[in-house]
Amino acid sequence: MQQPTLQQITGKTKLLGVIGDPVEHSLSPAMHNAAIADLNLDYAYLPFPIAAENLETAIAGFAAIGLVGFNITIPHKQTIMPFLAEISPVARAVGAVNTVWRSEKGWEGTNTDVEGFLAPLKTLNRDWTQTVAVVLGNGGAARAVVAGAAQLGCREVRVVGRNREKLDRFAASWQNSPIEVNLKPYRADAVAEAVSGATLLVNATPVGMSPHVDRSPFETALFAKLAADAIAYDLIYTPSPTQFLREAQQVGITAIDGAEMLVCQGAAALEKWLQQPVPVAVMRQALRAGLDGRGR
């Protein structure tokens, strides 16, 4: 794989990047720079570690140096919103921004996690209108899943949470959302009821990540309650497969891991900045190489 080198950076090189704290483990620079090199463009994508208290100053600085756009990761996905001149309806519905670009209005933001989440599902060519989707977890990623399921046209989205207050707040937050969704909250002790007849089951909890890779957020026996053509989708991309997906596959359920979501949210951001199609396969390969390098 061709990598951009310092010698290729000139006075004309345009800058992109990702802000977060921490950001040193991000695989986004590898994915984006591989695509930029493949397209033979004069851009560079850099990681910027920005502490919470420096966010406003950093964004003003980015405007001053003419940064074209940037991704946002933890902990700035919500706190950046007051500093943006324009926020897309999908990002408002999700309540978080992961992609920002410069326009004549100032910084504008959107959320490409929804597009990333949907990408592997759209390849399945299904009629989603009768689908009941179940989301395990009610955190930040669950919001992108709910918005995605609504965009797919799912009949109902059931969200399973372990903390009643958080779950109620999550459900209430969709009532005046720019994205219409038929959402039903379920307590964790009612998960069997929630998954009954469901066709799409999404893990949006971190259960199954290192070091507890032998854990699953879902009881194996409950897979039998899903619809016959059900899909199990884990947002976790390392390890792959997770215990959740391994158990789903053992009972013949289609399994999708979180790698494609990660690649496709990045590809959607790069397309926004470059205003041209980007080589998704190159980004996928760069992510895989990065994950393999970590021994996933």
Enzyme catalytic residues: 77
Q: How far is CA 99 from CA 19, 44, 58, in A?
A: 10, 16, 15
In the complex, what is the shortest distance from the CB of residue 280 to ligand NAP, in angstroms, rounded to a whole number? 14
β-pairing, 231-234 vs 14-20, is: unpaired
Residue 288 interacts with ligand NAP (CB under 6 A)?
A: no
d(CA 60, CA 16): 15
Toward ligand NAP, which CB reaches closer, 4 or 257? 257
Does 148 engage in binding with ligand NAP (CB under 6 A)? no
- Closer residue to ligand NAP in complex, CB, 132/202: 202
Q: Indicate whether 258 belongs to the interface with ligand NAP (CB under 6 A).
A: yes
Q: Is 238 in the site for ligand NAP (CB under 6 A)?
A: no
Interaction between residue 152 and ligand NAP (CB under 6 A): no
How many residues appear in the chain?
Answer: 296
> Does residue 236 belong to the site contacting ligand NAP (CB under 6 A)?
yes
Residue among 261, 268, 282, 291 that touches ligand NAP (CB under 6 A): 261
Answer yes or no whether residue 41 interacts with ligand NAP by CB under 6 A. Answer: no
Residue 4 or 147: the one with the smaller Cβ distance to ligand NAP is 147
Residue 109 sits in the site that holds ligand NAP (CB under 6 A): no
Among the listed residues 233, 237, 244, 273, the single contact to ligand NAP using CB under 6 A: 237
Q: Under the criterion CB under 6 A, does residue 209 sit at the interface with ligand NAP? A: yes
Q: How many residues bind ligand NAP (CB under 6 A)?
A: 25
The least CB distance from residue 187 to ligand NAP, in Å, is: 11
Q: Is 102 in the site for ligand NAP (CB under 6 A)?
A: no
Q: Given the structure tokens 């990333």, which residue do they identify?
A: 116
Structure tokens at 147: 């918005």
Does residue 187 belong to the site contacting ligand NAP (CB under 6 A)? no
Q: Give me the residue whose beta carbon is nearest to ligand NAP.
A: 139
8 Å CB contact between 149 and 200: yes
Q: How far apart are CA 154 and CA 235, in angstroms?
A: 18
Can you give the binding site for ligand NAP, defined by CB under 6 A?
Answer: 113, 116, 137-142, 161-163, 166, 204-207, 209, 217, 235-237, 258, 261-262, 265
